[in-house]
Structure 1
Amino acid sequence: MTSPAYDVVAIGNAIVDILAQADDAFIEEIGVAKGSMQLMFSPEEADALYAKMGPGREISGGSAANTVAGIAAMGGRAAFIGQVANDQLGTVFAHDITAAGVHFGTPVRPGQPTTARCLIFVTPDGQRTMNTFLGASLFLPAAALDEEVIASGAILYLEGYLWDPEEPRAAMRKAIDIARANGRKVAFTLSDVFCISRHGDDFRKLIDEGMIDILFANENELLALCEHESFEAAVGHIHGKVPLLVVTRGEHGAMALQGSERVEVGAEPIERLVDTTGAGDMFAAGFLHGQARGKGLKESLTLGAICAAEIIQHYGARPEMDLKALAERRLG
């Protein structure tokens, strides 16, 4: 097996986030559960909601794309595979992720639909309510995969958000086969309880078949996946089915379970909670960076917590401070 050219190769939705402040009354008015994510199924629906937004800020996003941007910010080597359209938002996304130091070579898709966008309303308590039009990202074909890039990544990282449409689901299954054939690890994030409600059987099958080496979940996602009401019961249920389980628990920190080793860390202190968008994505960035560099569970979890703490103190899901410097100050 050749040495990996990339620490992490991620496949996910290529999305441009548009963020605006909103109050609880507005969230109730648009009929969306606060703190949740809902899909919009037409550009007309997305345009209508966009018209109701206050002044917004465009920042390239997408769960797995955020994660590899974080890895690159920490000095890691990362690549991203995702579908954009031949339009202005597609150009914005490609520029942003390349400028972040991430390899991105997926060919653009001509015609409709447009590049994916996520309209994010941030309430004063820092909670984000997401409304996503997935657009062109729904049409990532297996033929667009760069097999050489996947084979040369130490870890293949997949997001549950992209499991919904048929084409990307087939592409991710093919990517798993490529990674495994080349002796690489496969990491998977459950992304959202919404994803589990639609594809929990698929996710459980991947786990039962031993296709996942590293599983990321938050506490609610783990409970939904394992169909338990008790956190410890859910951990016990999944223990032994995946080599490495990583669970984030918000202000209560995070834990990792690998074989007989269980490690927990607390959340990093912050000055002010501004926006929780991308907290889980950036946590995964820190943890995966640590693992790719041979760090232990505790240090990897701490790196994840450092990255998550940075991202929730400003708007947007891409780092604004020097993550590498933050980690060095915290860990030495």
Structure 2
Amino acid sequence: MSNQSSKGIYCLGSALVDYEFEVKQEQLEVLGITKGQMTLADTATFEQAFTSLNQDLKYQREGGGSAMNSLITYARLGGHGGTHCIVGKDESGEFFLQELRDLNLDITAAEHSLDEATGRCLALISPDKDRTMMTNLGINEQLQLKEGEAATNLYGFQVIYSESYMLASDKPRATLLTYLDAARQSDIFICLSLSDVSMVTYCREHLEKALDGRVDILFGNYEEYKNYTGKEELEDIFAFFPANIKCLVLTRGEQGATILKRQADSKEADQLISLPAAKAQVVDTLGAGDTYAGAFLYAIYERGFSYEVAAKFASQAAGKVISHLGPRLSAAECQDLKPLLDDNN
């Protein structure tokens, strides 16, 4: 599927700056947020939580956002890409965009606004290494398109990838669905992440609409798939989804991943790939799924490898990112990983 003449992958998602804290369980309880999930917060609630945590704890600041983390992984591995995002005209917005510029990503569609601040996320790592998030979307809720802009922005790209977090707000949701329609009309591969149990629970109707005839590859972890389908067995989970979804990628943390690749020819049997997780010393699971998706898509669309090779490489990349604090692999880590892709083949 590699296409050297294409611009690579176009990612859609919230532009966020992460503030990562290591916390105790009781601190999550004081904040009143559900462990292991993402909770949306207004500016006042976010500021109160940040101030409370910052009194006693140190934080690590990084660019974030689920799809943006995947895009950074894809680009640092050597892939090409772009994005349509919106940031405030503030220091956080400049901090976020500079990382994209440094990777020569196409951000011609990126917007600046004086109306609201750049989106921010409290990424809270508990002693069991699980991640819990409180997100203030800020200006991200104003992301929208002009007529015909989606097709223009997607021109030359081979793949579009989005997070389901886009479905949580009216304008980003409409933007995502317009992009998906434009991608389908241009025969661009469409990839979507379920993103979080909260999205599966509270945005189910919108998620069903996004999945209806529009998605080629769907990413998610076991809990997200289970909550969406109401099924527990993998066979039943996979059977729940319509045939237009060509590939279902289900990750299970330390239990590895299972990928169902459906065959276009009904005479051929679907391919079920189960792979163990890469060995890793878990420090922080933030960004594991994002990194997995970015590495998986890079292996397929930039390098033309099989789904099985891509899945093994993605597991190795995710194993690397969970071995340190922060949701993203460094450029050096990505370069160290690249030879493994050829070794896996």
The TM-score, its normalising length taken from structure 1, stands at: 0.93
Shift of 1:330: 6.1
Q: How does 1:1-332 map to 2 (within 5 A)?
A: 4-41=5-42, 43-53=43-53, 54-143=57-146, 145=149, 147-207=151-211, 209-238=212-241, 240-259=243-262, 260-270=270-280, 272-292=281-301, 293-320=303-330, 321-329=332-340, 331-332=342-343
Amino acid in structure 2 at the alignment position of 1:98: R
The 1-side partners of 2:101 and 2:312 are apart by 27
Q: Conserved in 1, the CA contact under 8 Å of 2:164 and 2:199?
A: yes
Amino acid in structure 2 at the alignment position of 1:189: S
Of all paired residues, the percent bearing the same amino acid is 26
Q: Conserved in 1, the CA contact under 8 Å of 2:109 and 2:153?
A: no
Shift of 1:35: 1.9
Shift of 1:192: 0.9
Aligned length: 328
Q: Conserved in 1, the CA contact under 8 Å of 2:299 and 2:341?
A: no
The 1-side partners of 2:295 and 2:90 are apart by 32
The 1-side partners of 2:91 and 2:119 are apart by 11
What are structure 1's unaligned runs of at least 5 residues? Answer: none
The 1-side partners of 2:68 and 2:233 are apart by 32
Shift of 1:206: 3.3
Distance 1:100 1:304, change over 3 A: same
Q: Conserved in 2, the CA contact under 8 Å of 1:125 and 1:273?
A: no
Q: Secondary structure at the match of 1:256?
A: strand
Q: Conserved in 2, the CA contact under 8 Å of 1:20 and 1:120?
A: yes
Q: Conserved in 1, the CA contact under 8 Å of 2:13 and 2:163?
A: yes
The 2-side partners of 1:152 and 1:23 are apart by 47
The 2-side partners of 1:227 and 1:65 are apart by 29
What are structure 2's unaligned runs of at least 5 residues? Answer: 263-269
Q: Conserved in 1, the CA contact under 8 Å of 2:177 and 2:210?
A: no
Shift of 1:318: 1.4
2:267 alignment counterpart: none
The 2-side partners of 1:65 and 1:104 are apart by 12
Could you list the per-position Cα deviations for residues 110-151 of structure 1 after superposition, in whole angstroms to 9, with x for gaps in the alignment?
Answer: 223210000112123222211100001111111295643312
The TM-score, its normalising length taken from structure 2, stands at: 0.90
Q: Conserved in 2, the CA contact under 8 Å of 1:69 and 1:101?
A: no
Q: Conserved in 1, the CA contact under 8 Å of 2:220 and 2:251?
A: yes
The 1-side partners of 2:165 and 2:38 are apart by 10
Q: Conserved in 1, the CA contact under 8 Å of 2:216 and 2:244?
A: no
Q: Conserved in 2, the CA contact under 8 Å of 1:4 and 1:154?
A: no
